[in-house]
Amino acid sequence: MSAFWRVGLGGVSVAVKVQSKSRRPGLQGRAPAVDGERLRIGVTEAAEDGRANRAACATLAAALGIAPSLVSVTQGATSREKTLRIEGDPATLVSGLSAL
């Protein structure tokens, strides 16, 4: 099983697939993709003015027990498939991501 995250300097990059206007908000498991596995995140917000992006960052931050300001979108701001960057100690973040 391949991981949906990649460790970098000072943080971790996480491949996600965001479902906006979801009836079931929150983490929804893993999804296969062409470039590897992704973490599914459902948000109730619409994909307008970056609201779904902010909600996805906040959802992932809440699941890891960190501040939402530590999570940002680095790739795919207008796509369902995105890369989120989490700032912090990589070892701590990987242990939290492994538990998801």
In a domain, 67, yes or no: yes
Kindly indicate the confidence band of residue 1, based on its pLDDT and cuts at 50, 70 and 90. very low
Residues 16-30: tens digit of each pLDDT: 999 999 999 999 999
Specify the pTM: 0.93
The sign of the torsion formed by the CA atoms of 64, 69, 73, 79 equals positive
Using the predicted structure, report yes or no on whether residue 55 has a pLDDT greater than 90.
Answer: yes
CB atoms under 10 Å from CB of 78, counted, come to 9
What CA–CA distance (Å, rounded) separates 11 from 3?
15
Q: Give me the number of domains the chain comprises.
A: 1
Q: Which two tokens stand for residue 98?
A: 């492994």
In a domain, 99, yes or no: no
In a domain, 95, yes or no: no
Which CATH number characterizes residue 40's domain?
3.30.1200.10
Average pLDDT, stretch 48-72? 97
